[in-house]
Every structure is written in structure tokens, then in C-alpha cells.
């Protein structure tokens, strides 16, 4: 049997590669930074090549490190799950799920009790950091993403179709100069999510406003903060109908009765081979089944 490097060295490498920090990885593994660095160096000596580009205060995987991470990180995760299942005395299935905060709070978490009742053995590790699709197989098993379309090399199932709403503070429609005409957007700040960068352009074209520009465009990477900013009167948010309906915030109103199909949808995304993993398959089937039965998720 071919000799393998120590498991501790492999674990140290994966943590540093995922976190991009020796200090953070050392904290995660309850090691000192020098001890963790020695483990990584031992692995590099075993392999016979460097796995990281070491800069002044940062450490990032090089091409060899990325290739090794893609191959061994999923195996290490499966080993961890197997040990956890054996030591707990019951089968524990763990899904590492990437999901945007607004979808999680509005549409997923209100239904997690139903998921737990159906599959008590299934546990979710929730990751709300960005760029989830890019991290599939490297810490994430599956992602609920907001996108126009999905890379055909990945498995993607569209979860919804939506309309773009212009959402603003209720007081904008009150007072001596209420906002009632789309042309008045020229005096307002548009709030746009970075993952939905074309919502304003799509709405503007559908509304027949040509090249009209708002007073400014402020970009967010958080849906909840966008809604709060709109409620505070800091601008008008270009978001989905479902975001507005699920928020149920009396401070907010939909501005302008103009129907515009959104270029974006929520998708369930994973690598094709991940569907063979039981946690991914159980969650996928539960999610799709809920949608087919008309249960809003």
C-alpha cells in the first residue's frame, strides 16, 4: 500500500487553504500557528512541491495547492462525517449549504422544522458568504444561488421566476410631493444588489425610460440591509416581488404598477456527482418536492 502523509498535515493544509490564514486555521484546529505551519511544511516536503504563495501577511494556494484541495477536501469532509456518525451512535448526515441571507431568513428557515421532521438525521451547516458557486466542492456541497443561468457543467434546478419591484419607504407616496411617476426616479438613489446588478436596467427598459439615470446607484451585498435602507428612506430598492411580499414590512410600499420580469432566479446548484451524496439528495428532493406541492420555500 502506498504510504500517505499524516492526516494532521492534510487537515492543516485544507484549513489554511479554505480560510486563507494560518492564524485562523490554527484557532480552528486548536494549534499554535508555528505548529500548524510545521504540519503544512511537512505535507509540502512529502509531496515535493510548494502548495502556497506566501506573501507579506497573506497566504494563498497556488495552482498545485488548488488542484490538491479540490481532490482531497471532499474526501476529508466525508471522513469527518463518517467519524461523527460512528461516535454519535446514530447516523448523522451533514450538508454544507451556501445560501444568501435574505433567502435563508425569508424562505428557508421558516420551513426548517418541516425538513427536520421529515429527515431528523440531516443537519445543515449554513454558509452565507458570497461566491458560493465558486466554492462548490471546497467547503460547500450545494448552494442556493441567485443567478441568470447556471454553468452547464454544474447541476442547476430553477426554484422560482420573479418580477422586479421598485420598493421604497411608505412616506415617499405621502406628503405634498408624492413619488407617483417613474420619471421621479431621477431624483432618487437606486439601491441594487451586487448579485442582481441588471435589475435596474431591466426595469428601466421595461418602463420605457430610455437612458434615464437615478440620482445615484448604491450597491449592496445584503438583501436585508437593502430593505432596511429603503425603509429608512435612503433610496429605492430594485428587488424581487417575493422579497417585498416576504418582508411584510409596513414601512415599505411598491412604487409604480409596472410588471417587469426579472432576469434573475433562485437556483439549487451543486456538482453533478454531489447528487449521489445522501445529504445533498435528501435536501434537494425535499426542496423540489415542497415546490411541486405548492409550498412556498
Mean per-residue pLDDT for 167-178?
91
SS3 79: helix
Q: How far apart, in whole angstroms, are the C-alpha atoms of residue 224 and residue 233?
A: 14
Per-residue confidence (pLDDT) for residue 90, from 0 to 100: 59
Q: Per-residue pLDDT averaged across 263-282, rounded?
A: 92
Q: How far is CA 234 from CA 215, 216, 226, 228, 253, in A?
A: 12, 11, 9, 9, 14
The C-alpha atoms of residue 78 and residue 84 are separated, in whole angstroms, by: 10
Please provide the CATH number assigned to the domain covering 7-83.
Answer: 1.10.10.10
Report which DSSP code applies to 39: H
What is the predicted pLDDT for the residue at 74? 83
Rounded Cα distance, 100 and 84, in Å: 27
Q: What number is the average pLDDT over the span 116-133?
A: 91
Decide if pLDDT at 235 tops 60. yes
| CATH for 92-160+265-292 (3.40.190.10, 3.40.50.300, 3.40.640.10, 1.10.287.3510) | 3.40.190.10
pTM: 0.66
Same fold for the pair 7-83 and 164-255: no
pLDDT at 88 over 60: no
User: At which residue does the C-alpha cell 418536492 appear?
Assistant: 289
Cα–Cα dist 195/129, whole Å:
12
Q: Is the pLDDT of residue 159 over 50?
A: yes
Whether the pLDDT of residue 176 is over 80: the answer is yes
Q: What is the pLDDT of residue 296?
A: 46
Asked whether residue 27 carries a pLDDT value surpassing 80, the answer given is no
Domain boundaries, the chain: 7-83, 92-160+265-292, 164-255
Cell of 125: 451547516
The yes-or-no verdict on residue 241 having pLDDT over 70 is yes
Residue 126 CA to residue 97 CA, distance in Å, equals 5
Q: What is the pLDDT of residue 21?
A: 82
Local confidence band at 84 (pLDDT 50, 70, 90 cut-offs): low
How many angstroms separate the CA atoms of 230 and 217, rounded?
Answer: 13
**Rounded Cα distance, 166 and 255, in Å:** 5
Lowest mean pLDDT among 49-53, 85-89, 255-259: 85-89
CATH fold of 164-255 reads D-Maltodextrin-Binding Protein; domain 2 (3.40.190)
Judge whether residue 196 has pLDDT over 50: yes
Mean pLDDT over each residue of the chain, to the nearest integer: 88
pLDDT at position 297 is 46
Amino acid at each position: 500500500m502506498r504510504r500517505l502523509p499524516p492526516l494532521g498535515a492534510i487537515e492543516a493544509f485544507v484549513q489554511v487553504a479554505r480560510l486563507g490564514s494560518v492564524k485562523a486555521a490554527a484557532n480552528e484546529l486548536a494549534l499554535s500557528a508555528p505548529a500548524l505551519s510545521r504540519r503544512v511544511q511537512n505535507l509540502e516536503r512529502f509531496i515535493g512541491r510548494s502548495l502556497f504563495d506566501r506573501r507579506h501577511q497573506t497566504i494563498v494556494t497556488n495552482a498545485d495547492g488548488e488542484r490538491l484541495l479540490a481532490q482531497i477536501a471532499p474526501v476529508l469532509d466525508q471522513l469527518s462525517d463518517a467519524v461523527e456518525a460512528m461516535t454519535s451512535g446514530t447516523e448523522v448526515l451533514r450538508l454544507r449549504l451556501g445560501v444568501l441571507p435574505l433567502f435563508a431568513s425569508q424562505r428557508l428557515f421558516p420551513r426548517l422544522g418541516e425538513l427536520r421532521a421529515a429527515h431528523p438525521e440531516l443537519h445543515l451547516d449554513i454558509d452565507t458568504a458570497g461566491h458560493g458557486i465558486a466554492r462548490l466542492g471546497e467547503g460547500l456541497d450545494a448552494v442556493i444561488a441567485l443567478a441568470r443561468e447556471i454553468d452547464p457543467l454544474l447541476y442547476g434546478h430553477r426554484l422560482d421566476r420573479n418580477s422586479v419591484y421598485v420598493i421604497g419607504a411608505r412616506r415617499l407616496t405621502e406628503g405634498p410631493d408624492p413619488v407617483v411617476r417613474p420619471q421621479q426616479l431621477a431624483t432618487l438613489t437606486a439601491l441594487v444588489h451586487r448579485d442582481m446588478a441588471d435589475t435596474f436596467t431591466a426595469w428601466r427598459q421595461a418602463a420605457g425610460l430610455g437612458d434615464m439615470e437615478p440620482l445615484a446607484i448604491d450597491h449592496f451585498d445584503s438583501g436585508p440591509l437593502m430593505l432596511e435602507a429603503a425603509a429608512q428612506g435612503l433610496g429605492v430598492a430594485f428587488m424581487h416581488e417575493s422579497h417585498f411580499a416576504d418582508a411584510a414590512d409596513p414601512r415599505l410600499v411598491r412604487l409604480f404598477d409596472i410588471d417587469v420580469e426579472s432576469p434573475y432566479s433562485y437556483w439549487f446548484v451543486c456538482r453533478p456527482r454531489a447528487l449521489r451524496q445522501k445529504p445533498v439528495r435528501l435536501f434537494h428532493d425535499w426542496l423540489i418536492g415542497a415546490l411541486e406541492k405548492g409550498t412556498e420555500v
